[in-house]
């Protein structure tokens, strides 16, 4: 029997990205991490926050469900630790909601940092008022079934990105970015450098010191738009 075949459908324990890394990562936008990770890790734009003020950072607790069934989300919530981000592969199905207001209240009481679902949710006004960070692919008033087995804390793929339990997940108004757990610490100084460079660029624009990026002419030459020695 292979090691994969021997794994239970529900894995209770896994290695999470360190809390100190999560705390530092929370200072940066999701877009900064997407840039320093090489334009990788950003989920498809269909997965968006219910409110632009919602933001989070934390380790992924992964869930795979059959479309329209939320049994394994309940199982994940039962084993979640404070600070976890429940990330659900709902197969992009929007025919019924996988979570709503009651489950969000439970997540808040547990200390779950956020939920990211490639699927639909409901009770959106109540969730916005609650302030719980909910990121989903859409809305639907239909409720789910609770009877079909899935998997918890196995690798999943949502929004075009592979996610493993314990990976760093960061979300805000722009969407969600995932960084591999092993790479998360190395991304922090790069994120700080990127933020400093962008802050300086904006200051230079405001002061009219540099109204266009310094790399523009070189990129245009490399693309064959302008000739060597020519500039805009």
pLDDT at 1 over 80: no
Give the pLDDT band (50/70/90) at residue 85. very high
The highest-level CATH class for domain 3-181 is alpha beta
Once rounded to an integer, what is the mean pLDDT over residues 72-78? 98
d(Cα 163, Cα 200) in Å, to the nearest integer?
33
Q: Is this model's pTM higher than 0.75 or not? A: yes
The per-residue pLDDT for range 46-56, each reduced to its tens digit, is 999 999 999 99
């Amino acid at each position: 029997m292979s090691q994969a075949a021997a794994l239970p459908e529900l894995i209770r324990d896994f290695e999470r990205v360190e809390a100190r890394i999560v705390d530092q990562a929370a200072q940066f936008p999701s877009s900064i991490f997407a840039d320093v990770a090489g334009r990788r890790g950003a989920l498809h734009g269909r997965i968006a926050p219910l409110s632009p003020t919602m933001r989070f950072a934390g380790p992924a607790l992964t869930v795979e469900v059959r479309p329209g069934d939320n049994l394994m989300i309940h199982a994940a919530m039962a084993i979640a630790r404070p600070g976890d981000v429940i990330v659900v592969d709902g197969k992009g199905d929007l025919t019924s909601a996988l979570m709503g207001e009651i489950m969000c209240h439970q997540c808040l009481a547990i200390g779950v940092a956020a939920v990211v679902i490639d699927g639909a949710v409901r009770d959106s006004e109540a969730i916005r008022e609650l302030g719980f960070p909910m990121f989903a692919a859409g809305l639907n008033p239909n409720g789910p079934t609770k009877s079909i087995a899935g998997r918890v804390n196995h690798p999943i793929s949502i929004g075009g990105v592979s996610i493993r339990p314990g990976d760093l997940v960061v979300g805000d108004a722009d969407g969600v970015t995932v960084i591999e757990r092993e790479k998360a610490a190395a991304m922090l100084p790069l994120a700080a450098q990127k933020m400093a460079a962008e802050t300086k660029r904006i200051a230079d624009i405001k002061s009219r010191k540099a109204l266009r990026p310094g790399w523009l002419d070189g990129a245009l030459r490399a693309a064959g738009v302008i000739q060597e020695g020519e500039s805009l």
